[in-house]
Amino acid sequence: MSITARTEAPVEQRPRHRSRATLATGFVILIGVLAVVCFFSITMGARGVGLSTIWKAFTDYDPSNASETVIRELRVPRTLIGIFAGAALGLSGAILQGVTRNPLADPGIMGINAGAATSIVFAIMVLGTQSTSTYVWFAFLGAGVATVTVYGIASFGREGATPVKLALAGAAVTAILSSITSAIVMTNVSALNELRFWQVGSLAGRYFPVFWQTLPFLVIGIVLALGTGRALNGLALGEDLALALGQRVRLTRVVMFVTVAILCGAATSACGPIVFVGLVVPHLARMICGPDYRWILSYSLLLTPVVVLVADIIGRVIISPGELQVGVVLGVIGAPAFILLVRYRNLAEL
Give least dist CB 52 to other proteins, A: 18
The nearer residue to other proteins, 319 or 342, going by C-beta atoms, is 319
The nearer residue to other proteins, 74 or 249, going by C-beta atoms, is 74
Query: Could you write out the three-class secondary structure of the chain?
Result: CHHHHHHCCCHHHCCCCCCHHHHHHHHHHHHHHHHHHHHHHHHCCCCCCCHHHHHHHHHCCCCCCHHHHHHHHHHHHHHHHHHHHHHHHHHHHHHHHHHHCCCCCCCCCCCHHHHHHHHHHHHHHCCCCCCHHHHHHHHHHHHHHHHHHHHHHHHCCCCCCCHHHHHHHHHHHHHHHHHHHHHHHHCCHHHHHHHHHHHCCCCCCCCHHHHHHHHHHHHHHHHHHHCCHHHHHHHHCCHHHHHHCCCCHHHHHHHHHHHHHHHHHHHHHHHCCCCCHHHHHHHHHHHHHCCCHHHHHHHHHHHHHHHHHHHHHHHHHHCCCCCCCHHHHHHHHHHHHHHHHHHHCCCCCC
Give least dist CB 191 to other proteins, A: 10
The nearer residue to other proteins, 75 or 253, going by C-beta atoms, is 75
The nearer residue to other proteins, 38 or 185, going by C-beta atoms, is 185
Give least dist CB 159 to other proteins, A: 39
Question: Which residues contact other proteins by CB under 8 A?
Answer: 45-47, 63-64, 66, 69-70, 73-74, 130-132, 182, 185-186, 188-190, 192-193, 195-197, 199, 202, 204-205, 207, 209, 321-323
Give least dist CB 83 to other proteins, A: 19
Give the distance, in angstroms, between the CA of residue 21 and the centroid of all CA atoms in the same chain: 27
The nearer residue to other proteins, 208 or 338, going by C-beta atoms, is 208
Give least dist CB 82 to other proteins, A: 16
Give least dist CB 185 to other proteins, A: 7
The nearer residue to other proteins, 155 or 188, going by C-beta atoms, is 188
The nearer residue to other proteins, 101 or 316, going by C-beta atoms, is 316
Q: How many whole angstroms separate alpha carbon 298 and alpha carbon 325?
A: 27
Give least dist CB 76 to other proteins, A: 10
